Chains A and B, each alone.
Chain A
Amino acid sequence: MPKFETISQLEEYRRRLLAQRDAQAPQVLVCGGPGCLPMGSEEVAAAFQQELKQRGLAAKVILKESGCQGLCARAVKVMLRPREITYQQVTPEDVPEIVEETLVKGKILERLCYQADDGAVKAKKSEIPFYQGQHPLVLGKMDLIDPTSLDDYLAAGGYRAIPHIFGKMSPEAVIDVVERSGLRGRGGGGFPTGRKWRLCRQVPGDVKYLICNGDEGDPGAFMDRAVMEGDPHAVLEGMIIGGYAIGANQGFIYVRHEYPLAVKRLSLAIDQARASGLLGADLLGSGFNFDVKISKGAGAFVCGEETALIASMEGNIGEPRNRPPFPAQHGLWGKPTVINNVESWANVPEIINQGPEWYAAIGTDKSKGTKVFSLVGAVNNTGLVEVPMGTTLRQMVYELGGGIRGGGDFKAVQTGGPSGGCIPKQYLDLPVDYDSLQSVGSIMGSGGMIVMDEHSCMVDVARYFMSFLNDESCGKCTPCREGTKHLLEILTAITKGEGQEEHLALMEELCVTMKDASLCGLGQSAANPVLSTLKYFREEYEAHILQKKCPALVCRPLLKYTIDPETCTGCLACVRECPADAIRGEAGEPQELDQALCVKCGMCHAMCKFDAVKVES
């Protein structure tokens, strides 16, 4: 890789690269995204490498580990280009057959393809319902490139936005484009990105900073992880454009330490960009200097809040402070600082490439462009989806998501992580954008979308989030510190069957106070999971309080486990796992569960292969 000193050198290199590459050459792309990695994608890739080598095909077939290919439910996924054949649930044992039948003979292995409900085989990506209706823009390069290859990124049109701006657009013109595109912050708040940049640009000062917030802390959201790991140069490209626009020469990427692979991939991308002159002094002869450093988080949810993030980058504990002044005015080390989330940065290059009108034509009136959601929980097709803003919940759950797993009933979808709410069935036709989600008591957040069916208890969900928030509250301001603690105490009491009717009004009062009086977004929005469940699922609270029952059979203290003597085979699997030694009986004979000793952990229920352990409330 040469060091590019001018734009024409970069473009000449790209031309030669594309001329050398044969678009019809067979390629195997093994998905190494967040969904496939835990399911053994590395072993599948290693099996391909070995098989191709053994059969003397290593020089002919290009093997890559790609970023997230979307449909995590069918991990491990393998994409075969140029035919775009998508194989699913691939194991290392399948690899020799794939090489022999598909790569050598050109035959499609139907057993590894997606099958529609009517049994029709869908071999190609474009035929699979999960991908239809999606609008991949941020995720567009995920199944094309090897994220560790700058050449791949360039060949896919990467760093094409830089030649668009250097020498052709003034910083103000770049801001104008971003502003007209209507892009709003993808981290949750939805603040207009262009306006934030303009604010920072207008503040006097020679030194300005720019931060990419990769502290994706919302449980249930992993789109930023997928982008940082799967297309790291897109983040850098967005940041270079942002740095040029606001007049910053130094950028930082703040990544949570729970994402070791993201740190590794971004570090490599930064090294590659520096070596090729895409970061550093006098970028491509433009006179503009820009560099990026990685700052690793140390494990605190509150650091996703921008002022807390800055505090921790300065070597302090992650406590937020009052705004104004906003970071755009007074940020890192007192300098004007723009902070945008990973997905926001990754949107920027395409906005420059295709223009603000093109971008603004996607989405709804006030929410432009696409949004990546992590569609998880009780749906068949779990995974990352990128859809135009305004796509309805029903489309996401039933068309892309393939409906509720096990044919059950939809109960709610939780968006926005601990700052969001649970949206019930009557809003399934809600077009999803920043404002519509707020109107039903939730928020967009970073894009987590956890679908729940009748096996989820909404009181338990509220208690879960409150426990998370109580743990993560930094403790600086009283409403959040005390509010989360007391809400957690009340919710815990309710899930134990110790709730009282007046608890509901008391919780609502606490929620309002926290919303009004907390210092930062964490406390201000902490009430959402409680308020939304109270509003839409009040009858579940009442069942816990009045009847001491958990209808979803989740809240342990309200459950009763018994062993059905008719179905119990006496295999003793439950006996071995029971932490309380509450199950007695002879091997091969039906077992008996001593209610006085039972701690209701449900371990016996989880272990029983014969469905002999019954649970009721």
Chain B
Amino acid sequence: MINQEKLDTILTRYEASSANLIPVLQDIQDEFNYLPKDELKLVAGKLQVPLTQVYSVATFFKMFSLEPKGRHQIRVCLGTACHLRGGQRLVETVSRRLGVETGHATQDLQFSLETVGCLGSCAQAPLMMIDDKYFGRMAVDKVPKILKPYKNQDQD
């Protein structure tokens, strides 16, 4: 089911040119939380870009997702400083706590979990972000308390 209204609002912001493909996809990603297939077909037509190019761009860049992301996006930093200070163990802890694999969303679409090359707060490693909020100097035993306010009311 195409959400024509939302899509039109996005498309009116840009000239119909292939140069605007990435900004349009970024707005769709932000608005829909993923890139829905039917919308992508319309974007290809509107910007006069082959659908193959839309697909290649949509799968090349990390911020795009072809499957719906969760309401809350958890990004665990695996930059050098975070790697050295236990970033990997932090990802594993979050993954296990939420029962979700890295790169995917929980079944109830409450969370999605990703790793990031660097979040740019290296002095506070290891670091994670939930939506726009940063959590520095993380430790595995802090994870449950941090996740709690973001959880669905009906969950534990």
Chain A interface (Cβ within 8 Å of chain B)?
34-35, 37-39, 72-73, 75, 216-222, 225, 257-260, 295-301, 312-318, 333, 374, 376-378, 382-383, 414, 417, 448, 450, 452, 455-456, 461, 464-465, 468, 472, 474, 573, 577, 579, 601-603, 606-607
Contacts and interface: CB of A to CB of B under 8 A. Distances in A.
A217 B118 contact: yes
Contact of B79 (A38, A220, A378): A220
A312 B125 contact: no
B123 A376 contact: yes
B25 to A, nearest CB: 7
9 contacts: A34-B123, A38-B121, A219-B83, A220-B80, A220-B118, A258-B117, A317-B60, A374-B123, A461-B80
Closest 9 pairs (CB-CB, A-B): A299-B62, A38-B136, A72-B123, A219-B79, A38-B134, A298-B61, A219-B118, A382-B123, A315-B21
Contacts of B137: 38-39
B120 A225 contact: yes
Among A38, A313, A378, find the residue whose CB has the most chain B CB atoms closer than 10 A: A38
B13 to A, nearest CB: 13
Interface residues of B, number: 50
A468 B117 contact: yes
Contact of A316 (B53, B79, B82): B53
Interface string B36-71: 000000000001010001001100111110000000
Contact of A73 (B60, B121, B123): B123
Nearest to A218: B118
Contacts of A606: 86, 89, 139-141
B3 to A, nearest CB: 22
Given A299-B63, A315-B57, A376-B81, A34 B22 contact: no
Contact of A222 (B19, B20, B120): B120
A314 B20 CA distance: 8
Interface in B76-91: 78-84, 86, 89
A383 B139 CA distance: 20
Nearest to A71: B123
A574 to B, nearest CB: 11
A258 B120 contact: yes
B11 interface: no
B120 A464 contact: no
Nearest to A452: B84
Instruction: Determine which residue in B47, B80, B124 has the highest number of CB atoms from chain A within 10 A of its CB, and name it.
Output: B80
Contacts of B118: 217-222, 258
B140 A300 contact: no
B26 interface: yes
Contacts of A296: 22-23, 26
Contacts of A315: 17-22, 47, 49, 53, 57
Contacts of A383: 123
B31 interface: no
Given A38-B136, A315-B18, A377 B124 contact: no
Given A314-B18, A414-B80, A607-B141, A38 B60 contact: no
B80 A38 contact: no
A295 B19 CA distance: 11
Scoring B57, B61, B93 by chain A CB atoms within 10 A of each residue's CB, the highest score goes to B61
Contacts of B79: 219-220
B53 A258 contact: no
A312 B84 contact: no
Given A38-B136, A39-B136, A298-B63, A450 B84 contact: yes
B96 interface: yes
A416 to B, nearest CB: 11
Q: Count chain B CB atoms within 10 A of each CB in A216, A222, A225 and give the residue with the most.
A: A222
Given A314-B18, A315-B19, A472 B117 contact: yes
Contact of B120 (A259, A314, A468): A259
Given A72-B121, A298-B61, A455-B84, 10 more contacts: A220-B122, A222-B121, A257-B63, A258-B119, A298-B64, A313-B19, A377-B80, A601-B92, A602-B89, A606-B139
B127 interface: yes
A456 B92 contact: no
Contact of B81 (A216, A333, A450, A474): A450
B113 to A, nearest CB: 16
B57 A377 contact: no
B132 interface: yes
Contacts of B20: 315
B109 interface: no
Contacts of B57: 298, 315-317
B65 to A, nearest CB: 11
Given A220-B80, A220-B81, A448-B80, A72 B19 contact: no
B147 interface: no
Nearest to B132: A260
Nearest to A301: B117
Nearest to B82: A219
Contacts of A378: 84
Interface string B98-135: 00000000000000000011111111110100001011
A300 to B, nearest CB: 5
A461 B84 CA distance: 8
B89 A72 contact: no
Which among A219, A417, A601 has the greatest number of chain B C-beta atoms within 10 A?
Answer: A219
Among the interface residues B82, B119, B137, which one has the most CB atoms of the partner chain A within 10 A? B119
A283 to B, nearest CB: 25
Nearest to B141: A607
Contacts of B80: 219-220, 377, 414, 417, 448, 450, 461, 464-465
Contacts of A573: 141
B122 A222 contact: yes
B81 A377 contact: yes
Contacts of A601: 89, 92
Given A38-B135, A220-B81, A299 B61 contact: yes
Contact of B96 (A219, A318, A474, A579): A579
Nearest to A383: B123
B83 A464 contact: yes
Nearest to A294: B23
A463 B9 CA distance: 45
A352 to B, nearest CB: 29
B82 to A, nearest CB: 8
A402 to B, nearest CB: 13
Nearest to A474: B60
B56 A35 contact: no
B122 to A, nearest CB: 4
Q: Which of B63, B84, B127, B140 has the most CB of A within 10 A?
A: B84
Contacts of B132: 260
Contacts of A312: 22, 61
Given A219-B79, A607-B140, A376 B60 contact: no
